[in-house]
Amino acid sequence: MDLPTILLIAVGLGMDAFAVALCTGATRNDIWFRPGFRLSFHFGLFQFMMPIIGWAAGTTVVRFIEGYDHWIAFGLLACVGGKMIKEAFEPETHKTSADPTRKWTLVMLAIATSIDALAVGLSLALLRVPILYPSIVIGVVAAGMTAAGLALGSRLGKFGKRMELIGGLVLIGIGLRIVIEHLM
């Protein structure tokens, strides 16, 4: 598989990570180097690992995963998105926002934005494409797109609560898109 094709796949897979990072950067004013690095690193790491896992699973596990992987991604994104929407309507003084660059929120977002990469890895296995090089490219591109999304989102941060509401809706929309694509 040639580099332009791998890059197109990587950018396609990285769009979810970019959208989540854009919303995160716009809704949080405390995203600086360490939290931004955590988000970029984890999104890149999961985007790197998922194709390898999918590739290793090959055709034996596909029967068990393909029936509900889209529902898992939707559920994770809907939980985080629903929480963001709820927090958008809470008064500022009572707001306790979970840091999307820490703990389970970070893991849920990393899994949800990289679940499609699992299917890509499985597809590459069926095509008998070696997986290490494409996985590295996919992970690096996802990390870069996440950093770019955070940077751009931080410029939109002045819109505050509206961006939190929009961010929650975007996450739920990404989850719905994943479900619809798998159901079609």
For the ranges 14-18, 35-39, 66-70, 113-117, the lowest mean pLDDT is seen at 66-70
| Mean residue pLDDT across the chain | 79
Give the integer Cα–Cα distance in Å for 124 and 32: 36
Q: Which domain holds residue 71?
A: 3-183
Average pLDDT score over residue span 22-35: 76
pLDDT tier, 132 (very low <50, low <70, confident <90, very high otherwise)? very high
Average pLDDT score over residue span 70-88: 72
Cβ-in-10-Å burial (0-12, 13-18, 19+) of 118 comes to: buried
Cβ contacts of 117 within 8 Å, gap of 6 or more: 13, 46, 47, 50, 51, 54, 138
pLDDT tier, 41 (very low <50, low <70, confident <90, very high otherwise)? very high
Total domains in the fold of the chain: 1
pLDDT given for residue 82 in this prediction: 79
| Overall pTM > 0.95 | no
Q: Cβ(174)–Cβ(18) under 8 Å?
A: no
151: part of which helix (H) or strand (E)?
Answer: helix 132-155
Rounded to the nearest 5°, which phi and psi values hold at 89?
-100, -5
- Identify which has the larger pLDDT, 173 or 111: 111
Average pLDDT score over residue span 67-78: 71
